[in-house]
Structure 1
Amino acid sequence: MAVKIRLARHGSKANPFYRIVVADARSPRDGRFIDRLGTYNPRTQPSDIQLDVEKAREWLGKGAQPTDQTRKLLKIAGAL
């Protein structure tokens, strides 16, 4: 099972809000996930990133692959 750390979109139309989740690569973007690591709100200035760094490092240690955007967020939060 390929596991990804990725963003799940929430919020209304033209008002995005994302959850940073660990999910099976085959599941849909906003579908089933394994664990929730934090949130990302790009609408605030500066962007608001709340992340459980310990959980993120644990999942990275287990072999979860972050997507490109999530990799950038993990670097900003200090998990990578």
Structure 2
Amino acid sequence: MVKIRLSRAGTKKRPFYHIVATDSRNRRDGRFIERLGFFNPSATGGDKEVVLDKEKLEAWRVKGAQVSERVVSLARKASDSVAAESAAA
């Protein structure tokens, strides 16, 4: 089964997560099928906290991929930030 979940990267005490589509049997930070975006919880200043390719995410969901709860909440957050940026412009 394909899952869409977070894969940890970064250094000690400075986490950085890739949002990936992977086989559920693979390790958390192991092999993945496709990278869909990233989540940077320690983003400051002009850095983006969440970047997500929604078309790729939806394509995987149509194919039957299971999405983790955290990725669902991050997708909502990414949608809100895009709406806020377009409203400010």
Instruction: Note whether the superposition's TM-score is higher than 0.5.
Output: yes
Contact 1:53/1:77 (<8 A) preserved: no
Provide the residue aligned with 1:43 in structure 2: 42
Bigger radius of gyration: 2
Q: What TM-score results when the alignment is normalised by the length of structure 2?
A: 0.80
CA RMSD of superposed structures (Å): 1.5
Would you say 1:14 and 2:13 are equivalent positions?
A: yes
| Matched residue count | 77
Point out where structure 2 has 5 or more consecutive residues left out of the alignment.
80-89
Identity, in percent, stands at: 48
Point out where structure 1 has 5 or more consecutive residues left out of the alignment.
none
Structure 1 stretches of 4+ moved >3 Å: none
For residue 20 of structure 1, give the secondary structure of its aligned residue in structure 2.
strand
For residue 50 of structure 1, give the secondary structure of its aligned residue in structure 2.
strand
Which moves more between the two structures, 39-48 or 65-74? Answer: 39-48
Contact 1:3/1:23 (<8 A) preserved: yes
Provide the residue aligned with 1:72 in structure 2: 73
